[in-house]
Each structure stands twice: as structure tokens, then as C-alpha cells.
Amino acid sequence: NAGVTQTPKFQVLKTGQSMTLQCAQDMNHEYMSWYRQDPGMGLRLIHYSVGAGITDQGEVPNGYNVSRSTTEDFPLRLLSAAPSQTSVYFCASSYGRRGDSPLHFGNGTRLTVT
């Protein structure tokens, strides 16, 4: 099994550009989420989804959009990139609704906005 696959691994954007970070999982997980990791800030939840067609905001949703049209995919869209969005982004999934189901993380995307 591939687990959680994030693409790309690295990306450099200019201020104002848009892009989509891709996330796919092949474990039939209901729950998917996006985090950003910044030095000294830990992992902060951006958006999450408890199933296809359902999304909700996390701690730091501004500047990001998500959609969940299928169980497998949960893309994260940056509409107009800003330097403050320079970060490492992690996608994670789990069976959800069950605390004994741990989060499976992707390998992360390092995004730099200049």
C-alpha cells in the first residue's frame, strides 16, 4: 500500500500565484486533514474532512481552500500565495470517529513563497 501520498515534495511560488497541493490515500480512510508545520509552532490544523462531500475549518484556514469529492483525494488550494504561507505542509488520514485509529501522515510538502 502506498499510504498517504503528497505531491509535490518541494515547491517555490511567487507572491500572488496559486497552486494546489495534492493528497491521496489508498486506505479507504474517512478522515483526512491538512496541517502546516512552522518552527516553534508545532502542527496547526488548516482544514479537515470527515468524509466525501464534507469539509470543515481547522485552526488556521484563511488563505486555503479544500474540497473532498472522493474518499481518496483531499487537495489543498492556495488561491493567492503569500510569504506567510511558507511552511511545510502535511496531509494526514485515518478511519476517523475512532480514537484508536491513528493518523497516517504523508511525507510533507515544503513550500516557499517569495
Partner 1 sequence: AQTVTQSQPEMSVQEAETVTLSCTYDTSENNYYLFWYKQPPSRQMILVIRQEAYKQQNATENRFSVNFQKAAKSFSLKISDSQLGDTAMYFCASMNRDDKIIFGKGTRLHILP
Least gap, CB of 44 to partner 1 (angstroms) = 7
The residues binding partner 1 (CB under 8 A) are 31, 33, 35, 40-45, 48, 50, 56, 58-59, 88, 90, 92, 96-97, 99-100, 102-103, 105, 107-108
Least gap, CB of 77 to partner 1 (angstroms) = 20
CA 23/CA 104 separation, integer angstroms: 12
55 vs 85 by CB, closer to partner 1:
55
CA 38/CA 113 separation, integer angstroms: 14
Cβ contact 104:4 at 8 Å: yes
CA 104/CA 10 separation, integer angstroms: 20
Least gap, CB of 49 to partner 1 (angstroms) = 9
